[in-house]
Chain A
Amino acid sequence: MTKEHTPRTSFVARNPSVLYLLMALGLFTAVVAVLSEATGVGLISTSFVKTLGKTLCLCLIAIAMDVVWGYCGILSLGHFAFFGIGGYAIGMWLMYARTEIIVAESLAGQVIPPTPQEISDAIGNQIFGVVGSSEFPLIWAFADSLFIQLAFVVLVPGLLALIFGWLAFRSRVTGVYLSILTQAMTLALSLYLFQNDSGLRGNNGLSGLQNVPGLADSGQDVVSLAFFLASALALALGYLLFAWITDSKLGNIIQAIRDDESRVRFLGYHVESYKLFVFTITAIVAGIAGALYYPQAGIINPAEIAPIASIYLAVWVAIGGRGRLYGAVIGAALVSLLSSWFTGGGAPSINLGFYTIQWVDWWLVLLGGTFVLVTLFAPKGIGGLFDKLVRKS
Chain B
Amino acid sequence: MTSLLEMSGISKNFDGFQAISNLSLQIGEPELRAVIGPNGAGKTTFMDIITGKTKPDEGSIRFGEDSRSLIGMSESEIARLGIGRKFQKPTVFEAQTVRENLAMALKNPRGPFSVLFYKKTREGAARLEEIAEEINLTDHLARPAGELSHGQKQWLEIGMLLAQSPRLLLVDEPAAGMTAHEREHTTDILKKAAETRAVIVVEHDMEFVRRLNCKVTVLHEGSVLAEGSLDHVTKNKTVVDVYLGRSDAGD
Contact residues of A with B, CB < 8 Å?
1-2, 5, 7-8, 245, 248-250, 252-253, 255-256, 259-260, 262-263, 265-271, 273-274, 277
Contacts and interface: CB of A to CB of B under 8 A. Distances in A.
B161 to A, nearest CB: 9
A2 B139 contact: yes
Interface string B160-188: 10001000000000000000000000000
B75 A265 contact: yes
Given A252-B103, A266-B85, A268-B79, A259 B120 contact: no
A252 B100 contact: yes
B195 to A, nearest CB: 23
B99 A7 contact: yes
Contacts of A259: 93-95
Given A256-B96, A274-B112, A2 B141 contact: yes
Contact of B96 (A8, A255, A268, A269): A255
Given A255-B93, A267-B79, A268-B79, A249 B139 contact: no
B105 A255 contact: no
B164 to A, nearest CB: 7
B168 to A, nearest CB: 13
B104 A256 contact: yes
Interface string B103-120: 111000011100111101
Given A266-B84, A266-B85, A252 B76 contact: no
29 contacts: A2-B142, A5-B141, A245-B116, A248-B115, A248-B117, A249-B103, A249-B116, A252-B93, A252-B100, A252-B103, A253-B104, A253-B115, A255-B93, A256-B104, A259-B93, A263-B93, A265-B79, A266-B51, A266-B76, A266-B79, A266-B85, A267-B79, A267-B164, A268-B79, A268-B164, A270-B76, A270-B110, A270-B111, A277-B116
A250 B160 CA distance: 17
Interface string B136-147: 001111100000
Query: Which 5 residue pairs are nearest across A and B when measured between Cβ atoms?
Result: A268-B79, A265-B75, A5-B142, A250-B116, A268-B80
Contacts of A252: 93, 96, 100, 103-104
A249 B112 contact: no
B87 A268 contact: no
A207 B51 CA distance: 56
Interface of B: 51, 53, 74-76, 79-80, 84-85, 87, 91, 93-96, 99-100, 103-105, 110-112, 115-118, 120, 125, 138-142, 160, 164
B110 A268 contact: yes
A270 B96 CA distance: 20
Nearest to A258: B95
Nearest to B80: A268
Contact of A267 (B100, B117, B138, B160): B160
Contacts of A2: 138-142
Nearest to B105: A267
Given A266-B76, A267-B104, 5 more contacts: A1-B142, A250-B118, A252-B104, A256-B93, A270-B111
Contacts of A245: 116
Nearest to B53: A262
A250 B120 contact: no
Q: Name which of A5, A263, A271, A277 has the most chain B CB atoms within 10 A of its CB.
A: A263
Contact of A271 (B76, B96, B103): B76
B118 A248 contact: yes
A2 B111 CA distance: 29
A252 B76 CA distance: 17
B93 A260 contact: yes
A5 B97 CA distance: 12
A259 B79 CA distance: 19
Contacts of B95: 255, 259
A269 B110 contact: yes
Nearest to B132: A2
A146 B178 CA distance: 66
B116 A248 contact: yes
B170 to A, nearest CB: 9
Given A252-B100, A265-B75, A7 B164 contact: no
A388 B110 CA distance: 35
A266 B75 contact: yes
A100 B156 CA distance: 66
Contacts of B125: 7
B76 A269 contact: yes
A265 B94 contact: no
A7 B94 CA distance: 18
A8 B120 contact: yes
B63 to A, nearest CB: 14
Given A249-B116, A268-B79, A273-B112, A263 B142 contact: no
Contacts of A266: 51, 75-76, 79, 84-85
A265 B91 contact: no
Contacts of A262: 53, 75
A266 B117 CA distance: 22
A260 B104 contact: no
Contacts of B112: 250, 273-274, 277
Contacts of A7: 99, 120, 125
Contacts of B141: 2, 5
Nearest to A269: B110
A265 B110 CA distance: 11
Contacts of B103: 249, 252
B128 to A, nearest CB: 9
Contacts of A253: 104, 115
A78 to B, nearest CB: 21
B111 to A, nearest CB: 7
B91 A263 contact: yes
Contact of B76 (A8, A250, A268, A277): A268
